[in-house]
Amino acid sequence: MYSTLIITLVVVYEVGTRYFLHRADSRAIFVSVWLYGMLFALGGAYTLREGGHVSVDIIYRKVPETLRKILDIVDIGIVFISGVILVLVGAPIAWRSFMIREVDSSLGIVFAPPIWWYKWVAVISVVLITLQTIPMMLEKIKQWR
Amino acid sequence: MPFVMFLFLFGLILLNVPVAFALFFTSMVFGLIFWGWNGLYVTFQGVWSLMNNWALVALPLFVFMSALLEKSGVADELFTTFYKLLGRIRGSLAVIAIILGYTIGAMSGVIAAAIASLALIIYPLMVRHGYDKKLAIGSILAAGTLPQVVPPSFNMIVYGSVAGVSVGKLFAGGLGVGTVMALVFSIYVLVWSHLNKDKVPVFAEEEITLKEKIISLKYLIGPLAIILGVLGSIFTGIATPTEASGVGAFLSLIYVTVRRKLNRKVMEDSLLVTLKVTSMACWIMAGGSAFSSVFSGIGGKRLVVDLLMSLPAAKVTVLIFSLALIFFLGMFVDPVSIIMIMTPILTPAVTNLGYDPLWWGVAFTSMLLVSYLTPPVGLGLYYFKGAIDEVSMDEIYQAVLPFIVLQVIAIVIIILKPEIVLWFIKTLSRGG
Amino acid sequence: IGGQTQPSETQTAPTETYEFKMATFYLAGDPGFEIAQHFADTVEKMSNGRIKIEVYQAGELGFPVTEIVDSTANGVVDMAIFYSSYLASQDPIMALSGGKPGPLSNPYEVFFQVKGVEDLIKATFEKFGVVYIGPMIYGEPEILVTTTPINKLDDLNGKILRSSGMAAVFYNTLGAQAMMMASGELYQALQLGTIDGLEWTDYTADYKMGFHEVAKYVLEPTPGVNLHSEATIHAYLIINPAVWEKLPEDLKEIIRAANMETYLWGSHYVNSLNREYRTKWVEAGATITRLPPEDNAKVIETAMGLYVEYAKKSPEAREYVTRLVEIWRELGHEDWANALDAALKQG
Ligand code: NA
Ligand code: NA
């Protein structure tokens, strides 16, 4: 959550050093992109819990209560399946990245930051989303009874 | 088969599946069937490529800036001031929303940022002052799409490099479209407000004294300084547009602190809203990336080519088909992918018939803008809903309809009077 | 419709057809994309339709260009062309076989050099899980586009330049500031002075990005004394191992031959385009300069520092760099060969 604040400061630092000191610090752009990526990816599970992932409820709101309960379970099930598949596909990708200790090559040997960990951030994000669906699913099933 | 993908997605979305996961799930089903296990790889890559999208760093920064201004009450002061100054003009707040959307356009091209920001800052206020909900939603959504055509526009840069036309001239043309659209929206808002006096309040003449008006001007200084700071840092070359959003967030933070309106609650509320809106929008975009990759990978492109070939090569048919296709794809697929996939196919077909390639580029990008707002699948609508949870999707759909018509009218104006766009291009761009 | 027709198990059927997906790192407006498309068409013609190749643009299939090798290794696409600098920091051979400072300035010299180190490049691609076929796309020497005149190396001092890879290293060594920026922001950054200049690619691509509208100075390399980026191999053809194994020998040969033909066809194509677009730059009012001869020594010296650094990174890299001495000597670039020889003996 606080990463937005840090991104703000990093970007201001980047602009400031370039303009006032005439020094381009390329580390800043990496850091701000990583922080942004972590913010949205890791925030996915929290947003799911808070009901923040937008859905279109025009039909949902008009159907009978029982059908709505079925839809609830179907919907959360689709999130769960998507999450599981993303984990299954993503984990090997992140694993290979770790095995070769993947680095970013954009700046050659000037600055080659490791990025294998960032791929794990993607995997962990989908793991968290998948895990978050479980209590939600249990909740819906409980309501069903 | 690729078009069945659209139906499938459509179905899932109507079943109330969160849009982001409807996109992922559809990509997975069709990727698995028509591409094999390997096709699933691109769905994960959708997340990864979004995590590496530099331009989107501006999204949390913009949303944070807006949330901070709203939650601290600064936005309230600002628009109340505007309202006092222009209160006698019915519909003034909606026009201000449109002008602000136009201004954000000069700072950024990230539609999610523009719509979420406008929704956060202006919507609560409009509703509190008794504005008709639908007018408020519609004008904010319409205004929020303007950044896609008002330069800088990332879509136009992609179009320019794929089609090989001048980016500077496209920008000038985009400014033309943006201006026409902003004018059309404003006129509509003013006329509608006039016809529906009960739904759009004004301050009575005697309510506000001149003195009060002058005093209220002080609330304008800070926010205008922030806007000037952002625009200024871009136009003096101090910062790129993405960086300028950081400057904006920083300046807002300073202003809110100086005004002693910053406390723990304001800060935490703003950061939480930022987290939620950013995450919601980016997961949808990641799903969209997965969707368009699978669409392309299982032969969607070839299908479009075949369709185009089967048409009679009349001037109007090809143009209408192309615009309709862009519109249709725009409902589901992100604009950058559409530009990449469709430009090499459609642009030669259209320009071979004698249309100006620059004009077509502008028309192409403008058409994409319409698809942001069309129900049921319109990314812009989702971004609004993500920022303002209490409105229902039904209300958003109804609110946006007149503005879609206006967008189409603006585009028809551009098609029938290409000289408007060409005038902007000629006047504003030099050389090349 | 769509999807991939899997070859049936009966290996003997002569009418068996293959549909391949090929990833590239170009957008459709780029000459590189046209060259890749030329390759696809040539293969289809030569194989009498037995191989059909669908060419995809950068990012069209959802993965970033840096993931092209991984995607080919995993069979997400069947084949790809790849700019090895995208893995420059992952493996020194990838860096060396991409763009770098050096004396080369034409397609034949580049081809000659690749042949001299091909075993090393091939082994490196194998390490990353793909089959190396050969160089497909020749890249012209790159230009530096600036908003203020650069007449000598000293003028670079303190300039903020968008650049990447080896070029970034090179400019930093010369006292400039290399920075990264999203490609979508470059045009406006030049226009408004956020950056002083940029190194993107050649005259053609830079013109298509519209940079001639917002920057009027071009520093072009002196033949034989390139700046950061000599003429190079822009793209190598790589194939998924399982796909390659399954192909009958005659089709393998068609792919190899089409690749060679494409290299020659494409070299001529980009070379002609680059001349044509150089003229367009001049017509747009650009001033084109080259470094004065007295700066040559400084360029070579800076380049040698880089080569010595890279030679330290792995035994293979040392082998690669060492071979360059003889390669350059045979091509007649005595000054570079001698400088590298001396630098290697020292370092
Ligand atoms: Na914009
Ligand atoms: Na839509």
User: Nearest CB to A89: which of B19, B44, B283?
Assistant: B44
How much is the pTM? Answer: 0.88
Question: What's the token pair of residue B165?
Answer: 């036309």
Question: Among B23, B26, B148, B162, which would you mutate to test the C interface (most chain C Cβ atoms within 10 Å of its Cβ)?
Answer: B162
In chain B, which residue's Cα lies nearest the Cα of C30?
A: B162
Mean per-residue pLDDT of chain C: 89
In angstroms, rounded to a whole number, what is the distance separating the alpha carbons of residues B116 and B66? 8
Contact with chain A for residue B235, Cβ under 8 A = no
pLDDT in tens, C144-156: 999 999 999 899 9
Which residue, chain included where needed, has tokens 């942004």? A36
DSSP code for C155:
G
* Residues of chain C positioned with their CB less than 8 A from the CB of B55: 182, 184-185
What is the mean pLDDT for each group of 10 consecutive residues in chain B (432 residues)? Answer: 83 91 94 88 92 88 89 82 77 89 84 91 88 93 91 82 79 87 93 85 67 77 85 83 87 88 86 90 91 87 77 75 85 79 84 83 87 85 91 92 92 81 71 36
In chain B, which residue's Cα lies nearest the Cα of C212?
A: B432
Q: What is the mean pLDDT of residues C149-167?
A: 87
| Residue bearing the bigger pLDDT, A45 or C12 | A45
In angstroms, rounded to a whole number, what is the distance separating the alpha carbons of residues A95 and A99? 6
Question: Among C76, C89, C181, C185, which would you mutate to test the A interface (most chain A Cβ atoms within 10 Å of its Cβ)?
Answer: C89
Could you give the C-alpha distances from B157 to B153, B174, B284, B363, in angstroms and in order?
7, 11, 23, 14
Question: What's the token pair of residue C31?
Answer: 């000459």
Q: What are phi and psi of C54, to 5 degrees?
A: -95, 120
Asked if the Cβ–Cβ distance from B28 to A85 is below 8 Å, we say yes
In angstroms, rounded to a whole number, what is the distance separating the alpha carbons of residues B376 and B14? 8
Number of helices (H), then strands (E), belonging to chain C: the values are 12, 11
Asked if the Cβ–Cβ distance from B283 to A40 is below 8 Å, we say yes
Check residue C229 and give its pLDDT.
Answer: 66
**B150 alpha carbon to ligand 1 midpoint, in Å?**
4
Q: Which of residues 154-213 of B touch C (CB under 8 A)?
A: 154, 157-158, 160-164, 166-168
In angstroms, rounded to a whole number, what is the distance separating the alpha carbons of residues C290 and C268? 24
Q: Which of A11-20, B235-244, B414-423, C106-115 holds the top average pLDDT?
A: C106-115
Closest CA to C200 of C177, C173, C180, C226: C180
Longest Cα–Cα distance of chain C, Å, equals 66
Q: Which ligand is nearest to the CA of B400?
A: 2
In angstroms, rounded to a whole number, what is the distance separating the alpha carbons of residues A42 and A121? 7
B200: left (phi over 0), alpha (psi -120 to 50) or beta: beta
Check residue A145 and give its pLDDT.
Answer: 66
Q: Which ligand is nearest to the CA of B154?
A: 1
- Does residue C4 have a pLDDT over 70? no
Give the list of residues 6+ apart from residue B302 with CB closer than 8 angstroms, or none: C1, C2, C54
Number of helices (H), then strands (E), belonging to chain B: the values are 21, 0
Packed helices B37-51 and B264-297: angle between N→C axes, nearest 10 degrees: 140
Contact with chain C for residue B241, Cβ under 8 A = yes
Grade residue C227 by pLDDT with cuts at 50, 70 and 90: low
User: Nearest CB to C309: which of A105, A107, A109?
Assistant: A109
Q: What is the mean pLDDT of residues C167-195?
A: 83
Question: What's the token pair of residue B236?
Answer: 């003096």
* Residues of chain B positioned with their CB less than 8 A from the CB of C3: 1, 34-35, 298-299
DSSP β-bridge partners for residue C232: C139
Asked if the Cβ–Cβ distance from A8 to B249 is below 8 Å, we say yes
Closest CA to C20 of C43, C41, C1, C4: C4
In angstroms, rounded to a whole number, what is the distance separating the alpha carbons of residues B389 and B375? 17
Which residue, chain included where needed, has tokens 């109507």? B14
Grade residue C1 by pLDDT with cuts at 50, 70 and 90: very low
Number of helices (H), then strands (E), belonging to chain A: the values are 4, 0
Mean per-residue pLDDT of chain A: 87
Q: In sequence order, which ranges of B150-263 are alpha helices (DSSP H)?
A: 154-163, 167-195, 210-216, 218-235, 241-258
Check residue A110 and give its pLDDT.
Answer: 67
**SS3 of residue C133 by DSSP:** strand
Name chain B's partners: 3 or more CB pairs within 8 A: A, C
In chain C, which residue's Cα lies nearest the Cα of B242?
A: C185
**SS3 of residue A38 by DSSP:** helix
pLDDT in tens, A71-123: 999 999 999 999 999 999 999 999 999 998 998 877 766 678 899 999 999 99
Q: Which of residues 128-157 of B touch C (CB under 8 A)?
A: 151-152, 154, 157
Name chain A's partners: 3 or more CB pairs within 8 A: B, C
**SS3 of residue B297 by DSSP:** helix
pLDDT in tens, C297-341: 888 988 898 899 889 999 999 999 999 999 999 999 999 999 999
Check residue C14 and give its pLDDT.
Answer: 57
* Residues of chain C positioned with their CB less than 8 A from the CB of A88: none
Question: What's the token pair of residue A89?
Answer: 């596909």
Q: How far is B47 from chain A (nearest CA, A)?
A: 7
Asked if the Cβ–Cβ distance from C57 to B340 is below 8 Å, we say yes
In chain B, which residue's Cα lies nearest the Cα of C195?
A: B237
Neighbours of ion ligand 1 (CB under 5 A): B 105, 109, 147, 150, 153
**SS3 of residue C137 by DSSP:** strand
Q: How far is C148 from chain B (nearest CA, A)?
A: 15
Q: Which ligand is nearest to the CA of B241?
A: 1
- Does residue C181 have a pLDDT over 90? no
Residue C43 CB-density burial (10 A; 0-12 exposed, 13-18 middle, 19+ buried): buried
User: Nearest CB to C95: which of A23, A96, A108?
Assistant: A108
Per DSSP bridges, beta strands C197-198 and C144-146 are antiparallel
DSSP β-bridge partners for residue C144: C219
In angstroms, rounded to a whole number, what is the distance separating the alpha carbons of residues C139 and C145? 17
Q: What is the mean pLDDT of residues C7-32?
A: 77
In chain B, which residue's Cα lies nearest the Cα of A92?
A: B41
Contact with chain B for residue C158, Cβ under 8 A = no
**B378 alpha carbon to ligand 2 midpoint, in Å?**
3
In angstroms, rounded to a whole number, what is the distance separating the alpha carbons of residues C150 and C95? 27
* Residues of chain A positioned with their CB less than 8 A from the CB of C66: 104-105
| pLDDT more than 70, % of chain A | 95
| pLDDT more than 90, % of chain C | 60
Which residue, chain included where needed, has tokens 């004004």? B202
| Residue bearing the bigger pLDDT, C302 or C4 | C302
DSSP code for C61:
T
Sign of the Cα torsion B98, B102, B108, B110 reads positive
Contact with chain A for residue B364, Cβ under 8 A = no
pLDDT in tens, A70-79: 899 999 999 9
Rounded to 5°, the CA angle A28-B103-B108 comes to: 30
**B109 alpha carbon to ligand 1 midpoint, in Å?**
4
In angstroms, rounded to a whole number, what is the distance separating the alpha carbons of residues C7 and C325? 46
Grade residue A10 by pLDDT with cuts at 50, 70 and 90: confident
Task: Give A46-64 as a DSSP string.
Answer: HHHHTT-S----TTGGGS-
Q: How far is A131 from chain C (nearest CA, A)?
A: 26
Check residue B206 and give its pLDDT.
Answer: 58
| Contact in structure between B136 and B123 (CB atoms under 8 Å) | yes
User: Nearest CB to B247: which of A2, A5, A12?
Assistant: A12
Ranges of each domain in chain A? 1-52, 55-145
Q: State the Cα torsion B187-B189-B192-B193 to the nearest 10°.
A: -120
Sheet order of strands, C217-219 included: C177-179, C160-162, C197-198, C144-146, C217-219, C287-289
Per DSSP bridges, beta strands C51-56 and C144-146 are unpaired
Contact with chain A for residue B210, Cβ under 8 A = no
Q: How far is B217 from chain C (nearest CA, A)?
A: 32
Q: Which of residues 238-297 of B touch A (CB under 8 A)?
A: 238-239, 242-243, 245-247, 249-250, 253, 268, 271-272, 274-284
Sign of the Cα torsion C52, C57, C59, C64 reads positive
In angstroms, rounded to a whole number, what is the distance separating the alpha carbons of residues A44 and B104? 27
Neighbours of C345 (CB within 10 A): 7
Asked if the Cβ–Cβ distance from C178 to A105 is below 8 Å, we say no
In angstroms, rounded to a whole number, what is the distance separating the alpha carbons of residues C109 and C232? 9
Check residue A17 and give its pLDDT.
Answer: 76
Asked if the Cβ–Cβ distance from C1 to B52 is below 8 Å, we say no
Asked if the Cβ–Cβ distance from B429 to C213 is below 8 Å, we say yes
User: Nearest CB to C67: which of B45, B296, B430?
Assistant: B45
In angstroms, rounded to a whole number, what is the distance separating the alpha carbons of residues B317 and A75? 41
Q: Which ligand is nearest to the CA of B6?
A: 2
In angstroms, rounded to a whole number, what is the distance separating the alpha carbons of residues C253 and C237? 14
Q: How far is C281 from chain B (nearest CA, A)?
A: 9
Q: What is the mean pLDDT of residues C71-91?
A: 92
Question: What's the token pair of residue A101?
Answer: 């200790």
Contact with chain C for residue B103, Cβ under 8 A = no
Check residue A109 and give its pLDDT.
Answer: 63
Q: How far is B417 from chain A (nearest CA, A)?
A: 37
Check residue B187 and give its pLDDT.
Answer: 94
Could you give the C-alpha distances from C84 to B4, C91, C162, in angstroms and in order?
38, 9, 20
In chain B, which residue's Cα lies nearest the Cα of C73?
A: B38
User: Nearest CB to B45: which of C4, C62, C184?
Assistant: C62
Amino acid code (one letter) for B279: S
Number of residues that this document lists for chain B = 432
Q: What are phi and psi of C239, to 5 degrees?
A: -135, 150
Contact with chain B for residue C308, Cβ under 8 A = no
E strands, C14-78, where? Answer: 18-23, 51-56
| Contact in structure between C271 and C70 (CB atoms under 8 Å) | no
Asked if the Cβ–Cβ distance from C178 to A107 is below 8 Å, we say yes
Q: What is the ipTM of this complex?
A: 0.85
Amino acid code (one letter) for C62: G
Q: Which ligand is nearest to the CA of B110?
A: 1
Closest CA to C291 of C199, C216, C222, C196: C222
